[in-house]
């Protein structure tokens, strides 16, 4: 049975905190994406690594693509609080208009959130000298890097919280309108 939700509406109300977090997430991760972009042009942002090989020809595209992909994934998280994350779009063959099973969206979000925890949330270990950190030419570059990269450590926990809220809100039978 096909379900049609008006644009912007969900089957059940989205908690206000989840809506705000989902909308804020692209801006939370944006400083990290912007900090990464000068590396695409060969500007080292004060990093010191005498053993770093020269940048390959494909590195600028990779760095820019990584920033674009990062922001796209943050925007995809909006599906956990929007109607388009609850019903398959018309262009999906055989599933158009059907409900998205809650685990089909929450499962990948949880896996992604856990991967993000592993990628970013080890950073404080480097700050306290437990693991090696990239060297910087002075304290200002180090401070800029930490200010820009630190908000990205919230990405994993935010995705996990949104996935939990999505699953909790969507589980169980749907009330007929």
| Residue 24, domain member (yes or no) | yes
Domain count, the chain: 1
| Residue 131, domain member (yes or no) | yes
How much of the chain, in percent, has pLDDT values that exceed 70? 92
| pLDDT tens readout for residues 58-107 | 999 999 999 999 999 999 999 999 988 888 888 888 888 888 999 999 99
| Residue 89, domain member (yes or no) | yes
| Residue 100, domain member (yes or no) | yes
Q: Which of 46-50, 61-65, 100-104, 169-173 has the lowest mean pLDDT?
A: 169-173
How confident is the model over 8-25, as a mean pLDDT? 90
pTM: 0.87
What's the pLDDT score for residue 3?
59
**DSSP per residue, 112-168:** HHHHHHHHHTTHHHHHTTSS---EESSHHHHHHHHHHHGGGGGHHHHHHHHHHHHHH
Q: Compute the C-alpha angle 104/155/33, nearest 5°.
A: 115
**What domain range is 141 assigned to?**
16-45+54-170
What's the pLDDT score for residue 51?
80
């Amino acid at each position: 049975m096909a379900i049609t939700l008006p644009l912007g509406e969900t089957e059940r109300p989205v908690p206000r905190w989840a809506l705000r977090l989902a909308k804020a997430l692209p801006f939370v991760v944006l400083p990290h994406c912007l900090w990464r972009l000068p590396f695409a042009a060969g500007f080292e942002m004060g990093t010191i690594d005498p053993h770093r090989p020269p940048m390959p020809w494909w590195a600028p595209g990779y760095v820019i693509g990584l920033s674009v992909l990062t922001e796209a994934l943050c925007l995809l998280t909006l599906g956990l609080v929007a109607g388009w994350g609850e019903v398959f779009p018309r262009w999906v063959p055989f599933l158009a208009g059907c409900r998205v099973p809650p685990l089909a969206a929450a499962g990948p979000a949880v896996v992604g959130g856990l991967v993000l925890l592993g990628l970013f949330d080890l950073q404080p270990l480097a700050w306290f000298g437990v693991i090696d950190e990239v060297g910087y030419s002075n304290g200002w570059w180090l401070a800029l890097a930490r200010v820009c990269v630190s908000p990205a450590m919230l990405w994993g926990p935010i995705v996990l919280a949104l996935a939990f809220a999505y699953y909790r809100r969507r589980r169980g039978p749907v009330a007929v309108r």
